[in-house]
Structure 1
Amino acid sequence: MRSSNPVFTRRGFSREGGSAGFNAPSQAGGPAVAQGNNPYAQSGNPYAQAPGAAPRNPYAPADQQQGEWAPHAAPAGGRMTMDDVVSRTGMTLGLVIVAAVASWITFDGEKSLGLGLLAALGAFGLAMVQAFKRKPVPALILSYAVLEGVFLGIISEYFNTYVDGAVMQAVLGTMAVFFGVLVAYKLRIIRVTARFQRFVIGAAIGFVLLMAVNLFAALIGGGDGMGLRSGGLGILFGIIGVVLGACFLAMDFKQVEDGIAYGAPKNEAWLAAFGLTLTLVWIYLEMLRLVAILQGGD
Protein backbone atom coordinates (compact mmCIF):
# COMPACT_ATOMS: atom_id res chain seq x y z
CA MET A 1 0.00 0.00 0.00
CA ARG A 2 1.18 3.49 -0.73
CA SER A 3 -0.10 5.91 1.82
CA SER A 4 -0.11 9.63 1.22
CA ASN A 5 0.24 12.73 3.31
CA PRO A 6 -1.33 16.14 2.74
CA VAL A 7 2.07 17.55 1.86
CA PHE A 8 3.48 14.86 -0.44
CA THR A 9 3.34 11.17 -1.28
CA ARG A 10 5.42 8.94 0.95
CA ARG A 11 6.32 5.29 0.72
CA GLY A 12 3.91 2.99 2.50
CA PHE A 13 3.54 -0.68 3.20
CA SER A 14 3.00 -3.03 0.28
CA ARG A 15 2.72 -6.69 -0.54
CA GLU A 16 4.40 -6.66 -3.94
CA GLY A 17 7.52 -8.82 -4.12
CA GLY A 18 9.85 -8.81 -1.12
CA SER A 19 10.35 -11.09 1.84
CA ALA A 20 9.82 -11.55 5.52
CA GLY A 21 6.16 -10.78 5.22
CA PHE A 22 6.86 -7.21 4.15
CA ASN A 23 6.26 -6.50 0.46
CA ALA A 24 5.29 -10.15 0.38
CA PRO A 25 2.22 -12.34 -0.17
CA SER A 26 -0.51 -12.10 2.41
CA GLN A 27 0.22 -12.98 6.02
CA ALA A 28 -2.04 -14.36 8.72
CA GLY A 29 -4.41 -11.60 9.60
CA GLY A 30 -3.58 -9.75 6.38
CA PRO A 31 -5.56 -9.41 3.18
CA ALA A 32 -5.66 -12.50 1.06
CA VAL A 33 -3.94 -12.46 -2.31
CA ALA A 34 -6.53 -11.89 -5.02
CA GLN A 35 -7.29 -15.00 -7.04
CA GLY A 36 -8.76 -16.11 -10.35
CA ASN A 37 -9.77 -13.51 -12.89
CA ASN A 38 -9.72 -10.59 -10.49
CA PRO A 39 -8.14 -7.76 -12.55
CA TYR A 40 -6.78 -6.26 -9.34
CA ALA A 41 -4.84 -9.37 -8.40
CA GLN A 42 -1.45 -7.94 -9.38
CA SER A 43 -2.12 -4.38 -8.32
CA GLY A 44 -0.58 -4.73 -4.88
CA ASN A 45 -3.69 -3.02 -3.47
CA PRO A 46 -4.58 -4.68 -0.15
CA TYR A 47 -8.12 -3.39 -0.44
CA ALA A 48 -8.77 -4.66 -3.97
CA GLN A 49 -11.89 -6.77 -4.43
CA ALA A 50 -13.19 -8.52 -7.50
CA PRO A 51 -16.10 -6.56 -9.01
CA GLY A 52 -19.31 -7.61 -7.28
CA ALA A 53 -17.46 -9.67 -4.67
CA ALA A 54 -18.67 -9.53 -1.08
CA PRO A 55 -16.37 -7.58 1.23
CA ARG A 56 -14.04 -9.74 3.29
CA ASN A 57 -12.27 -9.08 6.53
CA PRO A 58 -8.59 -8.48 5.63
CA TYR A 59 -7.52 -9.69 9.06
CA ALA A 60 -9.54 -12.90 9.14
CA PRO A 61 -7.70 -16.19 9.82
CA ALA A 62 -6.04 -17.71 6.76
CA ASP A 63 -8.46 -20.64 6.56
CA GLN A 64 -11.30 -18.16 6.08
CA GLN A 65 -9.62 -16.39 3.17
CA GLN A 66 -9.56 -17.26 -0.51
CA GLY A 67 -6.30 -18.88 -1.50
CA GLU A 68 -3.48 -19.81 0.84
CA TRP A 69 -0.55 -17.98 2.29
CA ALA A 70 2.71 -19.30 3.63
CA PRO A 71 4.43 -17.83 6.69
CA HIS A 72 7.79 -16.13 6.16
CA ALA A 73 10.82 -15.86 8.36
CA ALA A 74 10.98 -12.76 10.52
CA PRO A 75 13.24 -9.93 9.27
CA ALA A 76 16.76 -9.82 10.66
CA GLY A 77 15.94 -6.81 12.83
CA GLY A 78 12.62 -8.19 13.98
CA ARG A 79 9.09 -7.26 13.03
CA MET A 80 7.40 -3.95 13.68
CA THR A 81 5.06 -3.89 16.66
CA MET A 82 2.63 -1.34 18.03
CA ASP A 83 5.10 -0.60 20.84
CA ASP A 84 7.72 0.28 18.22
CA VAL A 85 5.33 2.70 16.51
CA VAL A 86 4.29 4.30 19.80
CA SER A 87 7.87 4.74 21.01
CA ARG A 88 9.14 6.17 17.70
CA THR A 89 6.15 8.50 17.43
CA GLY A 90 6.71 9.62 21.01
CA MET A 91 10.34 10.45 20.24
CA THR A 92 9.47 12.36 17.06
CA LEU A 93 6.56 14.31 18.51
CA GLY A 94 8.52 14.87 21.72
CA LEU A 95 11.30 16.58 19.75
CA VAL A 96 8.74 18.71 17.91
CA ILE A 97 7.23 19.83 21.22
CA VAL A 98 10.58 20.51 22.91
CA ALA A 99 11.85 22.52 19.94
CA ALA A 100 8.56 24.42 19.75
CA VAL A 101 8.66 25.36 23.43
CA ALA A 102 12.32 26.39 23.18
CA SER A 103 11.72 28.60 20.13
CA TRP A 104 8.58 30.09 21.74
CA ILE A 105 10.65 31.16 24.75
CA THR A 106 13.68 32.28 22.74
CA PHE A 107 12.20 34.17 19.79
CA ASP A 108 9.70 36.95 19.33
CA GLY A 109 7.03 35.58 16.99
CA GLU A 110 6.50 38.73 14.93
CA LYS A 111 10.17 39.63 14.61
CA SER A 112 11.26 36.06 13.89
CA LEU A 113 8.76 35.09 11.18
CA GLY A 114 11.60 35.01 8.64
CA LEU A 115 13.51 32.53 10.79
CA GLY A 116 10.34 30.49 11.21
CA LEU A 117 9.88 30.40 7.44
CA LEU A 118 13.47 29.21 6.97
CA ALA A 119 12.91 26.47 9.55
CA ALA A 120 9.71 25.42 7.78
CA LEU A 121 11.49 25.26 4.41
CA GLY A 122 14.33 23.27 5.97
CA ALA A 123 11.85 20.85 7.54
CA PHE A 124 10.04 20.46 4.22
CA GLY A 125 13.33 19.80 2.46
CA LEU A 126 14.33 17.08 4.94
CA ALA A 127 10.85 15.57 4.69
CA MET A 128 11.13 15.43 0.91
CA VAL A 129 14.54 13.75 1.13
CA GLN A 130 13.11 11.11 3.48
CA ALA A 131 10.10 10.66 1.21
CA PHE A 132 12.35 9.55 -1.65
CA LYS A 133 14.55 7.30 0.49
CA ARG A 134 13.99 3.58 0.12
CA LYS A 135 14.43 3.10 3.87
CA PRO A 136 13.66 5.32 6.85
CA VAL A 137 16.59 7.38 8.10
CA PRO A 138 16.02 8.20 11.80
CA ALA A 139 18.53 11.09 11.71
CA LEU A 140 16.57 12.76 8.89
CA ILE A 141 13.25 12.24 10.63
CA LEU A 142 14.49 13.59 13.98
CA SER A 143 16.17 16.57 12.28
CA TYR A 144 12.88 17.28 10.52
CA ALA A 145 11.14 17.17 13.91
CA VAL A 146 13.53 19.77 15.38
CA LEU A 147 13.13 22.21 12.47
CA GLU A 148 9.38 21.71 12.39
CA GLY A 149 9.27 22.40 16.11
CA VAL A 150 11.20 25.67 15.67
CA PHE A 151 8.71 26.77 13.03
CA LEU A 152 5.69 25.78 15.12
CA GLY A 153 7.04 27.58 18.18
CA ILE A 154 7.55 30.84 16.29
CA ILE A 155 4.26 30.76 14.40
CA SER A 156 2.37 29.75 17.54
CA GLU A 157 3.85 32.61 19.54
CA TYR A 158 2.92 34.97 16.71
CA PHE A 159 -0.72 33.83 16.64
CA ASN A 160 -1.00 33.80 20.42
CA THR A 161 0.13 37.44 20.55
CA TYR A 162 -2.92 38.51 18.58
CA VAL A 163 -5.40 35.86 19.73
CA ASP A 164 -4.84 35.00 23.37
CA GLY A 165 -5.37 31.29 24.02
CA ALA A 166 -5.37 30.32 20.33
CA VAL A 167 -2.50 27.86 20.77
CA MET A 168 -4.11 25.98 23.66
CA GLN A 169 -7.40 25.77 21.75
CA ALA A 170 -5.57 24.49 18.66
CA VAL A 171 -3.71 21.88 20.72
CA LEU A 172 -6.93 20.68 22.35
CA GLY A 173 -8.65 20.64 18.96
CA THR A 174 -5.84 18.57 17.44
CA MET A 175 -6.01 16.09 20.32
CA ALA A 176 -9.79 15.85 19.94
CA VAL A 177 -9.44 15.11 16.22
CA PHE A 178 -6.74 12.48 16.88
CA PHE A 179 -8.71 10.56 19.49
CA GLY A 180 -11.98 10.99 17.61
CA VAL A 181 -10.51 9.51 14.42
CA LEU A 182 -8.78 6.74 16.40
CA VAL A 183 -12.05 5.69 18.04
CA ALA A 184 -13.97 5.93 14.75
CA TYR A 185 -11.28 3.87 13.00
CA LYS A 186 -11.17 1.18 15.69
CA LEU A 187 -14.97 0.91 15.63
CA ARG A 188 -14.79 0.72 11.80
CA ILE A 189 -17.00 3.79 11.49
CA ILE A 190 -14.25 5.03 9.16
CA ARG A 191 -13.18 2.42 6.61
CA VAL A 192 -10.05 3.12 4.59
CA THR A 193 -10.65 1.64 1.16
CA ALA A 194 -8.98 2.24 -2.20
CA ARG A 195 -11.85 4.55 -3.18
CA PHE A 196 -11.47 6.45 0.10
CA GLN A 197 -7.77 6.92 -0.59
CA ARG A 198 -8.29 8.16 -4.13
CA PHE A 199 -10.92 10.65 -3.04
CA VAL A 200 -8.84 12.03 -0.15
CA ILE A 201 -5.66 12.32 -2.21
CA GLY A 202 -7.51 14.08 -5.02
CA ALA A 203 -9.19 16.47 -2.59
CA ALA A 204 -5.87 17.19 -0.85
CA ILE A 205 -4.11 17.95 -4.13
CA GLY A 206 -6.87 20.38 -5.06
CA PHE A 207 -6.74 21.97 -1.60
CA VAL A 208 -2.96 22.45 -1.68
CA LEU A 209 -3.09 23.91 -5.21
CA LEU A 210 -5.79 26.38 -4.18
CA MET A 211 -3.78 27.46 -1.15
CA ALA A 212 -0.69 27.87 -3.33
CA VAL A 213 -2.61 30.06 -5.79
CA ASN A 214 -4.02 32.08 -2.88
CA LEU A 215 -0.53 32.58 -1.46
CA PHE A 216 0.82 33.63 -4.86
CA ALA A 217 -2.04 36.12 -5.28
CA ALA A 218 -1.31 37.50 -1.81
CA LEU A 219 2.37 37.97 -2.64
CA ILE A 220 1.52 39.74 -5.90
CA GLY A 221 -1.46 41.83 -4.84
CA GLY A 222 -1.06 41.99 -1.08
CA GLY A 223 -3.71 41.24 1.53
CA ASP A 224 -5.10 37.72 1.59
CA GLY A 225 -5.03 37.09 -2.13
CA MET A 226 -8.33 35.46 -3.09
CA GLY A 227 -9.57 35.61 0.50
CA LEU A 228 -9.38 31.86 1.09
CA ARG A 229 -7.67 32.26 4.45
CA SER A 230 -9.84 34.92 6.08
CA GLY A 231 -13.49 35.64 6.75
CA GLY A 232 -16.20 33.18 5.83
CA LEU A 233 -14.13 31.47 3.13
CA GLY A 234 -11.26 31.15 5.58
CA ILE A 235 -13.52 29.34 8.05
CA LEU A 236 -14.83 27.05 5.31
CA PHE A 237 -11.36 26.15 4.03
CA GLY A 238 -10.08 25.80 7.59
CA ILE A 239 -12.75 23.20 8.28
CA ILE A 240 -11.95 21.45 4.99
CA GLY A 241 -8.27 21.40 5.97
CA VAL A 242 -9.05 19.81 9.34
CA VAL A 243 -11.33 17.21 7.73
CA LEU A 244 -8.63 16.32 5.19
CA GLY A 245 -6.12 15.98 8.02
CA ALA A 246 -8.53 13.66 9.84
CA CYS A 247 -8.88 11.53 6.69
CA PHE A 248 -5.11 11.27 6.33
CA LEU A 249 -4.89 10.34 10.00
CA ALA A 250 -7.21 7.40 9.32
CA MET A 251 -4.95 6.41 6.40
CA ASP A 252 -1.95 6.59 8.74
CA PHE A 253 -3.71 4.25 11.17
CA LYS A 254 -4.40 1.84 8.31
CA GLN A 255 -0.76 2.03 7.28
CA VAL A 256 0.34 1.08 10.79
CA GLU A 257 -2.23 -1.71 11.02
CA ASP A 258 -1.17 -3.15 7.65
CA GLY A 259 2.53 -2.90 8.50
CA ILE A 260 2.05 -4.92 11.67
CA ALA A 261 -0.25 -7.44 9.93
CA TYR A 262 2.18 -7.97 7.04
CA GLY A 263 5.20 -8.34 9.31
CA ALA A 264 6.99 -5.12 8.31
CA PRO A 265 10.62 -4.77 9.46
CA LYS A 266 11.03 -3.07 12.81
CA ASN A 267 12.71 0.05 11.41
CA GLU A 268 9.57 0.81 9.37
CA ALA A 269 8.10 2.09 12.65
CA TRP A 270 10.09 5.26 11.91
CA LEU A 271 8.06 5.77 8.72
CA ALA A 272 4.84 5.35 10.66
CA ALA A 273 6.03 7.89 13.24
CA PHE A 274 7.08 10.25 10.46
CA GLY A 275 3.69 10.04 8.77
CA LEU A 276 1.74 10.55 11.99
CA THR A 277 3.87 13.57 12.88
CA LEU A 278 3.34 15.15 9.46
CA THR A 279 -0.41 14.68 9.70
CA LEU A 280 -0.68 16.02 13.26
CA VAL A 281 1.35 19.11 12.33
CA TRP A 282 -1.01 19.67 9.37
CA ILE A 283 -4.09 19.40 11.63
CA TYR A 284 -2.58 21.69 14.29
CA LEU A 285 -1.75 24.42 11.77
CA GLU A 286 -5.24 24.28 10.27
CA MET A 287 -6.74 24.39 13.77
CA LEU A 288 -4.56 27.37 14.70
CA ARG A 289 -5.64 29.28 11.62
CA LEU A 290 -9.31 28.37 12.18
CA VAL A 291 -9.26 29.45 15.83
CA ALA A 292 -7.60 32.74 14.90
CA ILE A 293 -10.30 33.50 12.31
CA LEU A 294 -13.14 32.53 14.64
CA GLN A 295 -11.68 34.70 17.40
CA GLY A 296 -11.43 37.63 15.01
CA GLY A 297 -7.65 37.60 14.66
CA ASP A 298 -5.41 37.05 11.63
Structure 2
Amino acid sequence: MNFKSKNPFLNNKSFSATTAAPKEQVHQATVIDYNQEMTLSGTINKTVLLFLLLIASAMVIWWMAFNGMNPIVPAIGGAVVGLLLVVVAAFKPQYSGYLAPGYALFEGLFIGGISAIFEARYPGIVIQAVGATFVTFGVCLGLYRFKIVKVTEQFKSVVVAATLAIATYYLISWVVSMFTSFQPVHYGNSMMSIGISVFVIIIAALNLFLDFDRIEKGVAEKMPKYMEWFGAMGLMITLVWLYIEFLRLLSKLSSKD
Protein backbone atom coordinates (compact mmCIF):
# COMPACT_ATOMS: atom_id res chain seq x y z
CA MET A 1 0.00 0.00 0.00
CA ASN A 2 1.40 3.31 -1.03
CA PHE A 3 1.05 6.05 1.58
CA LYS A 4 2.60 8.82 -0.48
CA SER A 5 1.26 12.06 0.90
CA LYS A 6 -1.68 13.66 -0.89
CA ASN A 7 -2.47 16.00 1.98
CA PRO A 8 -4.45 18.97 0.52
CA PHE A 9 -2.61 21.25 2.96
CA LEU A 10 0.77 20.36 1.44
CA ASN A 11 -0.54 20.45 -2.10
CA ASN A 12 -2.26 23.84 -1.73
CA LYS A 13 -0.67 26.30 -4.14
CA SER A 14 -1.06 29.10 -1.62
CA PHE A 15 1.80 27.58 0.37
CA SER A 16 4.12 27.16 -2.60
CA ALA A 17 4.09 30.77 -3.73
CA THR A 18 7.45 32.48 -3.51
CA THR A 19 6.01 35.97 -3.03
CA ALA A 20 3.57 37.29 -0.46
CA ALA A 21 0.06 38.12 -1.65
CA PRO A 22 -1.15 41.73 -1.50
CA LYS A 23 -3.20 42.61 1.57
CA GLU A 24 -6.37 43.05 -0.45
CA GLN A 25 -6.06 39.41 -1.66
CA VAL A 26 -5.60 37.81 1.75
CA HIS A 27 -9.35 37.15 2.12
CA GLN A 28 -9.18 34.88 -0.94
CA ALA A 29 -6.98 32.34 0.83
CA THR A 30 -8.24 28.75 0.68
CA VAL A 31 -9.57 27.31 3.93
CA ILE A 32 -8.16 23.86 4.62
CA ASP A 33 -10.65 21.33 5.95
CA TYR A 34 -8.70 19.13 8.36
CA ASN A 35 -11.72 16.83 8.65
CA GLN A 36 -10.65 15.48 5.25
CA GLU A 37 -7.47 13.97 6.67
CA MET A 38 -6.99 10.37 7.74
CA THR A 39 -7.35 9.84 11.49
CA LEU A 40 -6.81 6.86 13.77
CA SER A 41 -10.31 7.05 15.24
CA GLY A 42 -11.81 7.23 11.76
CA THR A 43 -9.86 4.15 10.67
CA ILE A 44 -10.92 2.24 13.78
CA ASN A 45 -14.58 3.15 13.22
CA LYS A 46 -14.42 2.01 9.61
CA THR A 47 -12.69 -1.22 10.60
CA VAL A 48 -15.50 -1.95 13.06
CA LEU A 49 -18.10 -1.17 10.38
CA LEU A 50 -16.42 -3.51 7.87
CA PHE A 51 -16.26 -6.21 10.52
CA LEU A 52 -19.98 -5.87 11.25
CA LEU A 53 -20.81 -6.02 7.53
CA LEU A 54 -18.71 -9.15 7.15
CA ILE A 55 -20.33 -10.81 10.17
CA ALA A 56 -23.84 -9.94 8.96
CA SER A 57 -23.16 -11.37 5.51
CA ALA A 58 -21.52 -14.47 6.97
CA MET A 59 -24.44 -15.11 9.33
CA VAL A 60 -26.89 -15.07 6.43
CA ILE A 61 -24.97 -17.79 4.57
CA TRP A 62 -24.40 -19.69 7.83
CA TRP A 63 -28.16 -19.76 8.50
CA MET A 64 -28.96 -20.76 4.93
CA ALA A 65 -26.32 -23.52 4.98
CA PHE A 66 -27.78 -25.09 8.10
CA ASN A 67 -31.22 -24.92 6.54
CA GLY A 68 -30.36 -27.07 3.57
CA MET A 69 -28.59 -24.75 1.10
CA ASN A 70 -25.25 -25.75 -0.38
CA PRO A 71 -22.79 -23.03 0.77
CA ILE A 72 -20.15 -23.83 -1.85
CA VAL A 73 -21.55 -21.58 -4.57
CA PRO A 74 -21.89 -18.38 -2.47
CA ALA A 75 -18.53 -19.10 -0.83
CA ILE A 76 -16.72 -19.36 -4.15
CA GLY A 77 -18.61 -16.41 -5.61
CA GLY A 78 -17.86 -14.27 -2.57
CA ALA A 79 -14.17 -15.18 -2.68
CA VAL A 80 -13.85 -14.32 -6.37
CA VAL A 81 -15.68 -10.99 -6.15
CA GLY A 82 -13.85 -10.12 -2.94
CA LEU A 83 -10.50 -10.76 -4.63
CA LEU A 84 -11.47 -8.57 -7.59
CA LEU A 85 -12.42 -5.72 -5.26
CA VAL A 86 -9.08 -6.02 -3.47
CA VAL A 87 -7.20 -5.81 -6.78
CA VAL A 88 -9.19 -2.74 -7.86
CA ALA A 89 -8.60 -1.06 -4.48
CA ALA A 90 -4.86 -1.71 -4.75
CA PHE A 91 -4.74 0.37 -7.94
CA LYS A 92 -7.55 2.80 -7.12
CA PRO A 93 -7.45 3.45 -3.35
CA GLN A 94 -9.51 6.62 -3.81
CA TYR A 95 -12.53 4.37 -4.40
CA SER A 96 -11.99 2.46 -1.16
CA GLY A 97 -15.06 4.06 0.38
CA TYR A 98 -17.14 1.95 -2.00
CA LEU A 99 -14.83 -1.02 -2.48
CA ALA A 100 -14.15 -1.76 1.21
CA PRO A 101 -17.82 -2.25 2.22
CA GLY A 102 -18.35 -4.34 -0.91
CA TYR A 103 -15.34 -6.46 0.01
CA ALA A 104 -16.67 -6.99 3.53
CA LEU A 105 -20.08 -8.11 2.25
CA PHE A 106 -18.76 -10.52 -0.38
CA GLU A 107 -15.98 -11.84 1.82
CA GLY A 108 -18.66 -12.49 4.41
CA LEU A 109 -20.29 -14.88 1.94
CA PHE A 110 -17.00 -16.72 1.65
CA ILE A 111 -16.38 -16.77 5.40
CA GLY A 112 -19.92 -17.87 6.15
CA GLY A 113 -19.86 -20.67 3.60
CA ILE A 114 -16.43 -22.00 4.55
CA SER A 115 -17.22 -21.77 8.26
CA ALA A 116 -20.45 -23.74 7.79
CA ILE A 117 -18.58 -26.47 5.91
CA PHE A 118 -15.89 -26.80 8.59
CA GLU A 119 -18.42 -26.63 11.43
CA ALA A 120 -20.52 -29.42 9.92
CA ARG A 121 -17.47 -31.67 9.84
CA TYR A 122 -15.77 -30.55 13.04
CA PRO A 123 -18.38 -29.22 15.51
CA GLY A 124 -17.05 -26.36 17.63
CA ILE A 125 -14.17 -25.51 15.31
CA VAL A 126 -15.52 -22.10 14.26
CA ILE A 127 -15.67 -20.64 17.77
CA GLN A 128 -12.14 -21.92 18.38
CA ALA A 129 -10.85 -20.29 15.18
CA VAL A 130 -12.64 -17.01 15.98
CA GLY A 131 -11.19 -17.00 19.49
CA ALA A 132 -7.68 -17.76 18.24
CA THR A 133 -7.94 -14.97 15.65
CA PHE A 134 -9.04 -12.37 18.20
CA VAL A 135 -6.41 -13.43 20.72
CA THR A 136 -3.70 -13.20 18.06
CA PHE A 137 -4.95 -9.78 16.99
CA GLY A 138 -4.97 -8.54 20.58
CA VAL A 139 -1.48 -9.84 21.30
CA CYS A 140 -0.04 -8.33 18.11
CA LEU A 141 -1.76 -5.00 18.78
CA GLY A 142 -0.34 -4.94 22.31
CA LEU A 143 3.16 -5.80 21.12
CA TYR A 144 2.98 -3.03 18.53
CA ARG A 145 1.35 -0.48 20.81
CA PHE A 146 4.03 -0.84 23.49
CA LYS A 147 6.86 -0.90 20.92
CA ILE A 148 7.93 -4.41 21.88
CA VAL A 149 7.92 -5.26 18.18
CA LYS A 150 9.24 -2.53 15.90
CA VAL A 151 8.44 -2.51 12.20
CA THR A 152 11.78 -1.83 10.54
CA GLU A 153 12.53 -1.93 6.83
CA GLN A 154 14.23 -5.30 7.27
CA PHE A 155 11.18 -6.60 9.15
CA LYS A 156 8.93 -5.45 6.31
CA SER A 157 11.15 -7.07 3.67
CA VAL A 158 11.18 -10.44 5.42
CA VAL A 159 7.42 -10.50 6.04
CA VAL A 160 6.53 -9.36 2.51
CA ALA A 161 8.94 -11.90 0.97
CA ALA A 162 7.51 -14.72 3.10
CA THR A 163 3.95 -13.68 2.27
CA LEU A 164 4.66 -13.65 -1.45
CA ALA A 165 6.37 -17.04 -1.16
CA ILE A 166 3.32 -18.52 0.57
CA ALA A 167 0.94 -17.03 -2.01
CA THR A 168 3.07 -18.40 -4.84
CA TYR A 169 3.26 -21.83 -3.25
CA TYR A 170 -0.52 -21.96 -2.70
CA LEU A 171 -1.20 -20.86 -6.28
CA ILE A 172 1.19 -23.38 -7.84
CA SER A 173 -0.09 -26.20 -5.59
CA TRP A 174 -3.69 -25.40 -6.49
CA VAL A 175 -3.01 -25.34 -10.24
CA VAL A 176 -0.93 -28.54 -10.19
CA SER A 177 -3.48 -30.43 -8.06
CA MET A 178 -6.26 -29.46 -10.50
CA PHE A 179 -4.60 -31.15 -13.47
CA THR A 180 -2.64 -33.96 -11.82
CA SER A 181 -3.00 -36.45 -8.98
CA PHE A 182 -0.25 -34.64 -7.07
CA GLN A 183 -1.17 -33.90 -3.44
CA PRO A 184 0.62 -30.85 -1.98
CA VAL A 185 2.47 -31.38 1.30
CA HIS A 186 0.21 -28.94 3.16
CA TYR A 187 -2.79 -31.21 2.53
CA GLY A 188 -3.70 -33.87 5.05
CA ASN A 189 -2.87 -33.97 8.74
CA SER A 190 0.77 -35.04 8.72
CA MET A 191 3.26 -33.33 11.02
CA MET A 192 4.73 -31.61 7.96
CA SER A 193 1.31 -30.28 6.98
CA ILE A 194 0.60 -29.07 10.52
CA GLY A 195 4.04 -27.42 10.67
CA ILE A 196 3.33 -25.55 7.43
CA SER A 197 0.01 -24.32 8.82
CA VAL A 198 1.71 -23.04 11.96
CA PHE A 199 4.33 -21.23 9.85
CA VAL A 200 1.66 -19.62 7.66
CA ILE A 201 -0.26 -18.47 10.75
CA ILE A 202 2.90 -16.84 12.09
CA ILE A 203 3.45 -14.99 8.82
CA ALA A 204 -0.20 -13.91 8.71
CA ALA A 205 0.12 -12.59 12.27
CA LEU A 206 3.28 -10.69 11.36
CA ASN A 207 1.33 -9.02 8.57
CA LEU A 208 -0.82 -7.43 11.27
CA PHE A 209 2.23 -5.43 12.35
CA LEU A 210 2.61 -4.14 8.81
CA ASP A 211 -1.07 -3.13 8.79
CA PHE A 212 -0.69 -1.27 12.09
CA ASP A 213 2.42 0.49 10.80
CA ARG A 214 0.78 1.56 7.53
CA ILE A 215 -2.22 2.98 9.37
CA GLU A 216 -0.07 4.83 11.87
CA LYS A 217 2.12 6.32 9.16
CA GLY A 218 -0.91 7.24 7.07
CA VAL A 219 -2.31 9.20 10.00
CA ALA A 220 1.06 10.85 10.71
CA GLU A 221 1.46 11.87 7.06
CA LYS A 222 -2.10 13.24 6.99
CA MET A 223 -3.33 11.09 4.14
CA PRO A 224 -6.69 11.81 2.49
CA LYS A 225 -9.83 10.69 4.32
CA TYR A 226 -10.46 7.76 1.94
CA MET A 227 -7.26 6.12 3.19
CA GLU A 228 -9.15 5.27 6.36
CA TRP A 229 -11.24 2.85 4.28
CA PHE A 230 -8.09 1.61 2.55
CA GLY A 231 -6.31 0.96 5.85
CA ALA A 232 -9.37 -0.72 7.37
CA MET A 233 -9.73 -2.91 4.30
CA GLY A 234 -6.10 -4.01 4.50
CA LEU A 235 -6.54 -4.95 8.15
CA MET A 236 -9.67 -6.94 7.35
CA ILE A 237 -7.88 -8.85 4.59
CA THR A 238 -5.20 -9.96 7.04
CA LEU A 239 -7.75 -10.97 9.69
CA VAL A 240 -9.71 -13.03 7.17
CA TRP A 241 -6.50 -14.77 6.08
CA LEU A 242 -5.56 -15.44 9.71
CA TYR A 243 -9.00 -16.87 10.49
CA ILE A 244 -8.96 -19.20 7.49
CA GLU A 245 -5.50 -20.48 8.43
CA PHE A 246 -6.67 -21.17 11.99
CA LEU A 247 -9.60 -23.12 10.56
CA ARG A 248 -7.21 -25.18 8.46
CA LEU A 249 -4.87 -25.87 11.37
CA LEU A 250 -7.64 -26.79 13.80
CA SER A 251 -9.23 -29.10 11.23
CA LYS A 252 -5.93 -30.92 10.81
CA LEU A 253 -5.54 -31.31 14.56
CA SER A 254 -9.15 -32.47 14.93
CA SER A 255 -8.79 -35.07 12.19
CA LYS A 256 -5.91 -36.70 14.05
CA ASP A 257 -8.12 -37.48 17.05
Provide TM-score, normalisation by structure 2: 0.84
Match of 1:241 in 2: 200
Q: 1:74-117, CA deviations, whole angstroms, 9 ceiling, x for partnerless residues?
A: 55643222210111111111100110011100135993313311
Contact preservation (8 Å) 1:120, 1:147: yes
**Which residue in 2 is equivalent to 1:48?**
none
1:95 maps onto 2:84 in alignment = no
Q: Which residue of 1 aligns with 2:116?
A: 157
Alignment of structure 1 residues 6-155 onto 2, 5 Å: 11-15=1-5, 19-20=8-9, 77-107=35-65, 111-155=70-114
Q: Give 1:136 deviation, angstroms.
A: 3.5
Opposite residue 96 of structure 1, the aligned amino acid is L
Does 2:157 correspond to 1:206? no
* Shift in CA distance, 268/280, structure 1 to aligned 2, threshold 3 Å: same
- Separation in 2, partners of 1:263, 1:140: 21
Instruction: Return the offset for 1:122.
Output: 1.0
Q: Which has the higher helix share?
A: 2
Deviation, structure 1 residue 256? 1.2
Find the counterpart in structure 1 of residue 15 from structure 2: none
Which protein has greater RCO, CA pairs closer than 8 Å, 6+ apart? 2
Q: CA deviation at 1:19?
A: 4.8
Q: 1:201 to 1:260 in 2, by over 3 A?
A: same
CA distance in 2, matches of 1:282, 1:101: 18
Uncovered stretches (5+) of structure 1, i.e. residues with no partner: 1-10, 23-72
- 1:175-200 CA-to-partner distances (Å, cap 9, x unmatched) read 01100000111121211111111111
Which residue of 1 is the match for residue 27 of structure 2? none
Question: Gaps spanning 5+ residues in structure 2: where?
Answer: 12-30
Q: Is structure 2 residue 216 aligned with structure 1 residue 227?
A: no
Corresponding residue for residue 197 of structure 1: 156
Larger radius of gyration: 2
Closer, same or farther: CA 227–260 of 1 in aligned 2, 3 Å: same
Kept in 1: contact 2:37–2:224 (CA 8 A): yes
Look up the match of 1:179. 138
CA distance in 1, matches of 2:135, 2:222: 30
Q: Look up the SS of the partner of 1:120 in the other structure.
A: helix
Give 1:20's aligned amino acid. Answer: F
What letter corresponds to residue 100 of structure 2 in structure 1? I
What is the TM-score normalised by the length of structure 1? 0.73
What is the deviation of 1:134?
4.4
1:74–1:203 CA distance, 2 compared to 1 (3 A): farther
| 1:21–1:74 contact (8 Å) kept in structure 2 | no
Q: What code does the residue aligned with 2:197 have?
A: G
Which residue does the alignment assign to 1:67? none
Q: Percent identity?
A: 27
What is the root-mean-square deviation in Å for CA atoms of aligned residues?
A: 2.2
* Counterpart residue number, 1:57: none
Q: How many residues align?
A: 235
